[in-house]
């Protein structure tokens, strides 16, 4: 169990600090329906992360995914491919980062968040957590580490719950701040949104590079055993 949680921890942290979901929840929280839409978005985040992770585990064969040498071998190949993919995404993200006085481009759909209903906020949480390409790759990487640990189905469920909890913290913390601080939360949330928007490319580039390098290293280490 410890090996599974330790292996998937970097990917879970990557999901947690993914900039776009955090910026989206901050914009929802400062909207007129913020105290409803924020928690609904958080619920969507939890459902999305848990659902994507569960699907990956099911596709990997559940508890039996790492029970024999053949399965363990393909998990190492998967880690190697995912690691290389994350490194390439890190390079792409770094090259596309804003430079000098350039302002980062905000997606047009974010301008409509003020008009979201609670149901749309829930759906946005699911989509941005489960179908966001970078988050999806990180989720697959995290679940690959769980499968590689060769633990029971019950332990896989616990590992998935821990992954979901950690992966949702980046959204849960702004929601918690809103309810704990009330109107006083607007200023720090505004500063957080601006900082995350300006530095999102650099954050993701460094994060993806570190996790990608770890996955490649884990795969190479596994092949040498």
Distance between CA 192 and CA 163 in Å, rounded?
Answer: 24
Q: What is the pLDDT of residue 102?
A: 66
Q: How far apart are the first and last CA of the chain?
A: 20
Widest pairwise Cα distance in the chain: 57
Domain boundaries, the chain: 2-99+107-223
Per-residue pLDDT tens, the chain, 225 aa: give them.
788 888 899 999 999 988 889 999 999 998 889 899 999 999 999 999 999 999 989 887 644 444 455 555 677 788 888 889 989 988 988 887 777 666 666 677 777 888 899 999 999 999 999 888 888 889 998 998 888 888 888 899 999 999 999 999 999 999 999 999 988 888 898 888 888 877 878 888 888 898 889 888 877 876 666
Closest by Cα among 15, 23, 40, 13 to 133? 15
Euclidean distance between CA atoms 186 and 38, whole angstroms: 13
- Measured CA to CA, the distance from residue 164 to residue 158 in angstroms comes to 10
| Residues whose CB falls within 8 Å of the CB of residue 218, separated by 6 or more in sequence, listed in order | 7, 76, 79, 83, 145, 148
Percent helix, strand and coil across the chain, each to the nearest 5: 85, 0, 15
Between the CA of residue 66 and those of 154, 156, 193, what are the distances in Å? 14, 11, 41
């Amino acid at each position: 169990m410890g090996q599974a949680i330790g292996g998937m921890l970097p990917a879970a942290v990557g999901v947690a600090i993914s900039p776009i979901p955090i910026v989206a929840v901050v914009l929802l929280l400062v909207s007129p329906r913020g105290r409803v839409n924020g928690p609904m978005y958080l619920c969507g985040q939890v459902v999305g992360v848990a659902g994507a992770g569960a699907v990956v585990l099911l596709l990997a064969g559940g508890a039996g995914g790492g029970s024999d040498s053949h399965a363990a071998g393909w998990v190492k190949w998967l880690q190697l491919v995912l690691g290389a993919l994350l490194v390439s995404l890190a390079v792409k993200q770094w090259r596309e980062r804003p430079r000098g006085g350039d302002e980062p481009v905000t997606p047009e759909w974010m301008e409509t968040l003020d008009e979201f209903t609670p149901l749309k906020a829930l759906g946005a949480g699911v989509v941005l957590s489960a179908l966001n390409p970078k988050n999806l790759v990180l989720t697959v990487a995290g679940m690959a580490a769980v499968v590689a640990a060769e633990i029971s189905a019950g332990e896989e469920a616990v590992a998935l719950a821990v992954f979901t909890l950690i992966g949702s913290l980046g959204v849960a913390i702004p929601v918690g701040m809103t309810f704990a601080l009330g109107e006083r939360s607007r200023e720090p949330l505004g500063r957080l949104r601006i900082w995350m928007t300006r530095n999102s490319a650099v954050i993701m580039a460094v994060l993806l590079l570190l996790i990608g390098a770890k996955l490649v290293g884990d795969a190479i280490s596994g092949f040498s055993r």
